[in-house]
Amino acid sequence: MKKILSLVLALCLLAGIGSAFAEQKAYKIALITMDSIDQHWVTLNEGAQAKAKELGVEVTFMSPNTKDDAQQIEAVNNAVSAKVDAIMVAANGPDAISGALEEAKAAGIKIIYVDSPANVEAEATFSTNNNAAGKTAGEEMIAALKEKGIEEGKIGVISVNAATDSTLQRDAGFRSAFEGTKYELLETQYGEGDAAKSQAIAENFITQGVVGLFGANEGSTAGVGNAIKAAEKEIVGVGFDKSDAILGLIEDGYLLATMAQNPDKMGSMGVEAAVKVLNGESLGGEVVDTGVSVLKKTK
């Protein structure tokens, strides 16, 4: 009798496990970043794919090749058509894709922001504290300028565009570091995150006699470093993001430092959050700072 009871219990246990596996869904998640080329977004996708493999879900990288609002809206619409369960998105700007994201939410799709949010309520956001990191970049530049005995002068700022929330915050934080100093911060110029366009802008700033240049993202920073290299002048260049090109410019002395984000962590934590909310857990729209490191020339 005991053997029969044990057998029945074992069969029930196996049936329960089988049922649990049957109920577990391989969720489909779309990852839509500002473009698919910058190393920042490539690394973010790598972090997302690693976590997706660990959790047994599918993440499709659906980003456009270039930073373009129309293409990003199309990517969101394509994700909706593909009936994904969640969209992880880094918005080009807070407004442009908001309508498309609202339609996605109306279709029951969960929204998670990575790096840069839009003006639509999301389940969670994983990004750098861009204002604080921008201020750190400014403080690094001021310290380097004063070390050179330069107590005043013009500072040029190059960013992506006038709409992207993350870079606007970096710009604001950077400028805040100069409050109360004698440095003159020139009007921000925009290169759309393109290294060649940003270099041309930086070269124009150099003709205006700047003592420092700040790049607010990967392309802007590469442009700053390349312009300083071409000018062969001792201008303090500070930027954002990490790539082989940027690290090379730092090691060669054309850039002082870059604020290195943790895009892999944004991607990984974004996928983890998506799975949690799809399993019924509420994250209450939490905003998580994924951190930043100041990278300088190795000694």
Q: One-letter amino acid identity for 228?
A: I
The beta-strand segments (E) located in 115-216 are 124-127, 152-159, 182-185, 189-190, 210-215
Structure confidence at residue 6 (pLDDT): 52
Token duo for residue 202:
């930086």
Phi, psi of 159 (to 5 degrees): -130, -170
Contacts of 26 (CB under 8 A, 6+ apart): 56, 57, 58
Contacts of 159 (CB under 8 A, 6+ apart): 167, 168, 170, 171, 188, 189, 190, 191, 215, 216, 217, 220
| Mean pLDDT, residues 226-245 | 96
Q: One-letter amino acid identity for 114?
A: V
Q: How far apart are CA 89 and CA 62, in angstroms?
A: 10
Residue 24 has pLDDT above 60, yes or no: no
- What pLDDT band is residue 226 in, cutting at 50, 70 and 90? very high
- What pLDDT band is residue 4 in, cutting at 50, 70 and 90? low
Which DSSP state fits 290?
-
- Identify which has the larger pLDDT, 264 or 16: 264
Q: How far apart are CA 260 and CA 216, in angstroms?
A: 11
**Contact criterion met (CB below 8 Å) for 201 and 219:** no
Q: Give one DSSP letter per residue of 31-87, joined into a string.
A: EE-S-SSSHHHHHHHHHHHHHHHHHT-EEEE---SS--HHHHHHHHHHHHHTT-SEE
Structure confidence at residue 131 (pLDDT): 97
The beta-strand segments (E) located in the chain are 28-32, 58-61, 86-89, 110-114, 124-127, 152-159, 182-185, 189-190, 210-215, 236-240, 257-261, 286-289, 292-296
Phi, psi of 167 (to 5 degrees): -75, -30
* Domains of the chain, CATH where assigned: 26-128+263-290 (3.40.50.2300), 130-261 (3.40.50.2300)
pTM: 0.81
Tens-place pLDDT, residues 36-85: 999 999 999 999 999 999 999 999 999 999 999 999 999 999 999 999 99
Residue 8 has pLDDT above 90, yes or no: no
**Contact criterion met (CB below 8 Å) for 138 and 176:** yes
Structure confidence at residue 299 (pLDDT): 73
Tens-place pLDDT, residues 102-154: 999 999 999 999 999 999 999 999 999 999 999 999 999 999 999 999 999 99
Q: How far apart are CA 142 and CA 111, in angstroms?
A: 39
Q: How far apart are CA 158 and CA 197, in angstroms?
A: 10
Q: Considering only CA atoms, give the Rg of the chain.
A: 23
